[in-house]
Amino acid sequence: MCPKLTSLTLSGGVPDTVSLEPLTRCPELYNLTLSGGVPDTVSLEPLTRCPKLLSLTLSGGVPDAVLDSLSGCPRPLFLTLGDRQRPAETAFTAAAVTRLVKSCRELRELYLHCTADTGRAVLTALNEADLGRDRYCRPRTIWLHVPGELYRQLWIQGGGRVSVSEWKH
């Protein structure tokens, strides 16, 4: 039990034998960073039961199976995907990101570090998807934050249910 832990960073990659279940016993955890990659044998499902988790960063390799295991997260969430230093190693697909956004009705902001091709694919998929309605029954909007060089390529494709903004560090 870690009753006062609010923020945690696990770096160097998540071992394929690790369980994130113990984090559900950290009632104040609101910020979690898993850097260095998450193997597809690790499930993020326990994180959907962390009562105050608000911000999740998954850097390095993030396979589709890992994103799918986060499906249905019931609370507001700010999600960061990808590796700023090595955007080509992100490994997620636009289809997986879209499934995640559609199933996590409270996901509001998505921060991406990825290749331009993946960024364009994610934006196109989100624009074409039915994102449903927010808790006030309004059409749901996703804020997609991307680095400056990608923003300059994508901003014109934004609009509608996806608002593209530059992710400034």
Tell me, yes or no, whether 151 lies in a domain.
Answer: yes
Measured distance CA(29)–CA(138) in Å, rounded:
30
Counting Cα atoms < 13 Å in the Cβ hemisphere of 73 gives 29
Q: Which domain holds residue 94?
A: 7-166
Q: Which DSSP category does 5 fall into?
A: -
Number of domains in the chain: 1
Is the pLDDT higher at 5 or at 136? 5
pLDDT of residue 88: 65
pLDDT bucket at 169, cuts 50 / 70 / 90: low
Helix ranges, the chain (H): 64-68, 94-103, 116-128, 148-154
pLDDT higher than 80, residue 83:
no
Q: Which DSSP category does 99 fall into?
A: H
* Pairing relationship of beta strands 7-10 and 77-82 according to DSSP bridges: unpaired
Instruction: Give the CA angle between residues 17, 7, 69 to the nearest 5°.
Output: 40
Tell me, yes or no, whether 112 lies in a domain.
Answer: yes
Biggest CA-to-CA distance, the chain: 48
Tell me, yes or no, whether 46 lies in a domain.
Answer: yes
pLDDT bucket at 47, cuts 50 / 70 / 90: very high
pLDDT of residue 140: 86
Instruction: Encode pLDDT of 115-162 as tens digits.
Output: 888 888 888 888 888 888 877 888 888 888 888 878 887 877 766 778
Average pLDDT, rounded, for the chain? 86
Beta bridge pairs of residue 133:
139
Tell me, yes or no, whether 102 lies in a domain.
Answer: yes
pLDDT of residue 135: 78
Tell me, yes or no, whether 108 lies in a domain.
Answer: yes
Let me know: does 143 contact 165? Beta carbons within 8 Å: yes
Tell me, yes or no, whether 2 lies in a domain.
Answer: no
Write the CATH number for 29: 3.80.10
Residue 162 dihedral angles phi and psi, to the nearest 5° = -125, 125
In what helix (H) or strand (E) does residue 10 lie, and over which residues does it extend? strand 7-10
pLDDT bucket at 3, cuts 50 / 70 / 90: confident
Number of other CB atoms surrounding residue 65 within 10 Å: 15
pLDDT of residue 14: 84
Instruction: Encode pLDDT of 52-73 as tens digits.
Output: 999 999 988 888 998 999 988 8
pLDDT higher than 70, residue 40:
yes
Tell me, yes or no, whether 1 lies in a domain.
Answer: no
pLDDT of residue 34: 92
pLDDT bucket at 37, cuts 50 / 70 / 90: confident
